[in-house]
Amino acid sequence: MIIAIDGPAASGKGTVSKRLAAHYGLRHLDTGLLYRAVAKTVLDSGKKPDDTEAAIAAATALDPANFDEAALKSAVVGEAASYVSAIPEVRAALVAYQRDFAATAPGAVLDGRDIGTVICPDADVKIFVTAAPEVRAHRRAKEYAAAGKDGDEATVLADIRKRDERDSNRSASPLKQADDAVLLDTTNLNVEQAVAAAIAIVERNKKR
Ligand code: DC
């Protein structure tokens, strides 16, 4: 079974995806890490995230087996990832890896922005996870505080709004709910409620 999860930053899609993968015995790929790794390679080489040549070279040479997930989860890398991910050649260089991951037994949960629309248009179940921007900013600021990182809520909210705008309005594979995706709004749900709602969606929609 292939489950496609898309949605904006801090919507809860990462947590829901991990929990769905564990529940159904599937592999899990956080595809945001691929774009974050490209962005970090560009930043580490002293280039700007909108340096198209550097980003394409980094995407082409990417080795997803060697990710340092903690280093990729910073706000600076996330912001840079939203620039490199708008470059069509960067996206194209990462398609095969994602499709192979999805096609490998026993199946997978992939989360990102274009999984249901572009990477796995034939996924068995598609869920679009969202939440009000203020709630997403509150969750993200709490995560930063727990990790000992800076991030006051107003700044996080401003960043989230900017990122939503860039991710939704780019021409290459923008953030968009697939026509056949089920909407899961987690604004008023805690983690357990969101996971239970996602499992109920899979049970109702999976192909038998
Ligand atoms: O989900 P995230 O915050 O780790 O994603 C980081 C950036 O990568 C985000 O701004 C948009 C981009 N991204 C994308 O364009 N397509 C994906 N499938 C996943 C992430």
Ligand 1 binding pocket includes 112 (Cβ within 6 Å): yes
Atom nearest to 82 CA in ligand 1: 10
Quick check: 98 and 64 in contact, CB under 8 A? no
Whether the link from the prior residue into 133 is cis, omega within 30° of 0, is no
**96 to each of 34, 59, 125, 158, 184, how far by Cα in Å?**
12, 12, 20, 34, 28
Of all protein residues, whose CA lies closest to atom 9 belonging to ligand 1?
A: 82
Domains in the chain: boundaries: 2-205
Shortest-distance atom of ligand 1 to CA 173: 15
- Could you tell which of 11, 29, 30, 31 is best to mutate to test the pocket of ligand 1, judged by most ligand atoms within 8 Å of the CB? 31
Q: Is CATH 3.40.50.300 the right assignment for the domain spanning 2-205?
A: yes
pLDDT tens digits for the chain (208 residues)? 999 999 999 999 999 999 999 999 999 999 999 999 999 999 999 999 999 999 999 999 999 888 888 899 888 999 899 999 999 999 999 999 999 999 999 999 999 999 999 999 999 999 999 999 999 999 999 988 888 877 789 999 999 999 899 999 999 989 999 999 999 999 999 999 999 999 999 999 987 6
Q: Backbone phi, then psi, for 182, in 5-degree steps?
A: -95, 135
Q: pTM of whole model > 0.85?
A: yes
> What number does the ligand 1 atom closest to the CA of 170 have?
15
Answer yes or no: is the C-beta of 167 below 6 A from any ligand 1 atom: yes
d(CA 99, CA 32): 15
